[in-house]
Structure 1
């Protein structure tokens, strides 16, 4: 019994930290149980522990809100299984569309040798490929890009591509990142930022009647999803799982990658809306929203009146959730970024490989982990708002999640547990408008909670820009 208790405490350490960052009641941690599995998300860094913590905290936040709305005497028990978590954290790799594997990275999205080291580019979208090509003065051809990069320094490429609106980041060691001004800006903020925007009256949540099977903590809540790639869509996909009416809005001129949409579109509807030309339609949606989730560069939506303060001013009681790559301030605060680039900048790629030959995490764990943290923060904000009122904001960043992961690198160790035998037990198939999909089941699990999404993804942008009846 003593050994089991010690093992349980070791497994729970990171879940306790995440729950504390979310402002959760520590007494509720007793409702969490875990299934540890050796070999899940193998890495030099404690990826499995981070993934487990993010999912566990999210499930507990959902169970807490569900108990509150259903009038339950106690919060439902939460179960976190490393197998389900590992499968979900690689959901984009598990996807099959009519038996076809997904396209994950375009040919110009990869590591490249430079004259003095390495740089990683992200060019999955056509406009990012065009900007990379323009910055380097070469065609969109891997051989031409490789030759151009081999003659330049990594830091020079980083700045030149950024200036052109593209995405390239030089490989840094943990020590080099620690000396960077952006690292200081990231370290100055908590893992999850939370706060009130005003003193709006408490907006009571409608009770969940009839016992609710499954128990859907976010039932009846309306979520405007203004996110892309990958953390934000993971968060809103999770809110959809828990019963929210999630409406994703995209600009008509920025098509989503089809496989990416198929992976993260479960449970949601998808509409196209020009925030300038269709302003009245957006304001009508906002007037009935409970949550707005944004995933664009900090400040980039402010000119549309979409800052947290402006949104809450027009919709008192709103929860505004924001996710970014680098955080809202510091010299890189306004830069675009993706999981793969944050791994390279913060030293993760150097730790998982070496400065001479960089590596990568076994999953886009910064994206997925941050996504579950964001969903958890929204759920907790809804619970807190129902008691204390006030419009709320929550804010997370991939670079902060990276800092948390790197902080545990010296303590990383293989835990005991069952052997992870692959994702098979946590995969399902469904037919839908996009074809026959094989997909990863959701890892967020609590007593009487949902085990799957209510609907498969539909075609990108095909739904009307209005709330469900």
Structure 2
């Protein structure tokens, strides 16, 4: 745990401040998943502590609960009388190809359509399996990617290290910071209780990693406005990930909506985005244009496979990166299984999300002090490298969740009442709490308060 935490602190330029970790146990895995959960949450909390230290002269204490951190890396929501929709499309998952394993990610309709344009229409997993079995895994991966879909052949750790994209990711820092131009300093409007009050976060992220970051920022008082395209939906994760946010829709191909977006961006303090490396550029919102529209903007972005190398513009998700970089293969050997064995939770997504939040807070703290904006780039594949390099050690299993782990407040959501698990992190006098419950995508107007 100490080595992992120290590595992340160094990557973020944070001092090696001690953190108190409570409870014991770990998620079952070939890798240090619970340690990664604790360390990534801790550095996000430490970033807030450093901001408060700069603004008030007092450094608060920080405590992270190992059990709760592990549970939050799965889901924090506990519905009452209703169920969250399935996370996965019926044909998404791992398949045996002619010479190995491949994972197809088909949750988005256009990603399923891309896979079926290669394999043919498949009504169920059995039909998909029979068609995948006729392909070599590497050929099918490339064909689906070329069709605009998402797929990943299962590679070993050694194969990934030798792969051009693996070598490219190995050469990248965990977080790549770039500092912007000096501007008049922004006045801190927050307080010890709500340190990010008055900070506007424009969230263009989807699914898990980016939404984890914006959820954390919202819990500390930030005004988070999430923007989705008109037809996008992710019903299996919306109740979990829209906590604390307002959610609107804009079509960035539409002239009127682009004008609305330009105005939102001009008045944003932090932009979070998880588009592929070239996507915003093709929409006319490249880095230089974003900085022109919003001088001093804190620009934090992630992608799946890194920011250099042949796959830097490839579509990807946590489960695909686990297949590509050797995690699923190593898990299979660790468990003595006959099929890919991923991490017990989507830890790359969650950890990268907290690292994004920590990066945004660090840049904000600097902007409040010296008026200098900046940007940060992260990737799921680089977070995977961090996890792979650290020894999981040995630990007893986590004590199972019980009713006492849930908060006492009832969250009223569009789907029904729910409880959230107690938060895994305690910052002295700075409670992590959300004013808004989860909401449907597109439930709000695309405007700041």
**What TM-score range do you get, normalising by the shorter chain?**
over 0.9
Deviation (angstroms), 1:438: 3.5
Equivalent residue in structure 1 for 2:22, among 22, 35, 54: 35
Partner of 1:135: 118
* C-alpha distance in 2 between matches for 1:177 and 1:160: 20
Task: From 219, 222, 240, give the equivalent of 1:241.
Answer: 219
- Aligned-partner SS, 2:233: coil
Contact 1:84 1:423 in 2 (8 A): no
1:210-251: CA deviation from partner (whole Å, max 9, x where unpaired):
xx4xx1221110000000111011111111111100000011
TM-score by length of 2: 0.94
Structure 1's consecutive aligned runs of 4 or more residues displaced over 6 angstroms after TM superposition are: none
1:98 paired with 2:76, answer no
Distance apart, 1:309 and its partner CA: 2.6
Contact 1:178/1:184 (8 A) holds in 2 = yes
- Is 1:164 matched up with 2:147? yes
Q: Which residue in 2 is equivalent to 1:296?
A: 275
Determine if contact 1:97/1:434 at 8 Å carries over to the other structure.
Answer: no
Q: In the alignment, which residue of structure 1 is the partner of 2:138?
A: 155
- Match 2:392 to one of 408, 412, 420: 412
Match of 1:47 among 33, 45, 49: 33
Residues 423 and 76 of structure 1: is their aligned pair in 2 closer, same or farther, counting only changes over 3 Å?
farther
- 1:124-175 Cα offsets, whole Å, 9 max, x none, are 1111111111111233432221111111111011001111111111000000
Residue aligned with 2:247, SS: strand
The answer (yes or no) to whether the contact 1:202–1:385 under 8 Å persists in 2 is: no
Question: CA-to-partner distance for each residue in 1:281-304, whole Å, 9 max, x for gaps?
Answer: 111111211011101111101123
Are 2:210 and 1:228 aligned? no
The CA deviation at 1:415 is: 4.3
How many angstroms does 1:356 deviate by?
Answer: 4.6
Equivalences for residues 181-260 of structure 1 within 5 A: 181-197=164-180, 199-208=181-190, 212=192, 215-253=193-231, 255-260=232-237
SS of equivalent residue, structure 1 residue 223: strand
Contact kept, 8 Å, 1:95 with 1:263, in 2: the verdict is no
Helix, strand or coil for the counterpart of 1:420? coil
Partner of residue 316, structure 2? 337
**Partner SS state of residue 330, structure 1:** coil
Give the 3 Å change call, closer, same or farther, for CA 146–421 of structure 1 in structure 2.
closer
Counterpart-to-counterpart distance in 2, 1:237 and 1:357 = 34
Q: Could you tell me whether the CA contact under 8 Å between 1:295 and 1:322 is conserved in 2?
A: yes
Classify 1:356/1:116 alpha carbon distance in 2 versus 1 (closer, same or farther; 3 Å).
Answer: farther
Give 1:373's aligned residue: 355
* Residue 240 (structure 2) aligns with: 263
Distance 2:258 2:290 in 1: 13
Separation in structure 1 between the aligned mates of residue 223 and residue 355 of structure 2, nearest angstrom:
19
Q: CA deviation at 1:402?
A: 0.5
1:110-136 deviations in whole A, cap 9, x for unaligned? 110111110011111111111111111
1:328 and 2:314 correspond: no
Taking the aligned partners of 1:299 and 1:441, their CA distance within structure 2 comes to: 38
1:261 is displaced (CA, Å) by 1.0
SS of corresponding position for 2:411: strand
After superposition, the Cα gap between the structure-2 partners of 1:239 and 1:304, relative to the gap in structure 1 and judged at 3 Å, is same
Residue by residue over 1:358-392, the C-alpha shift from the partner in whole angstroms, topping out at 9 and shown as x without a partner, is 10111000000000000000000111122233220
2:56 counterpart of 1:75: no
Q: CA separation in 2, counterparts of 1:98 and 1:361? A: 29
Bigger Cα displacement from structure 2, 421-430 vs 370-379: 421-430
Partner residue of 2:51?
65
Paired position in structure 1 for 2:92 = 109
The TM-score, its normalising length taken from structure 1, stands at: 0.90
Aligned to 1:430: 411
Distance change (3 Å), C-alpha of 1:101 and 1:282: closer
1:347 is displaced (CA, Å) by: 0.4
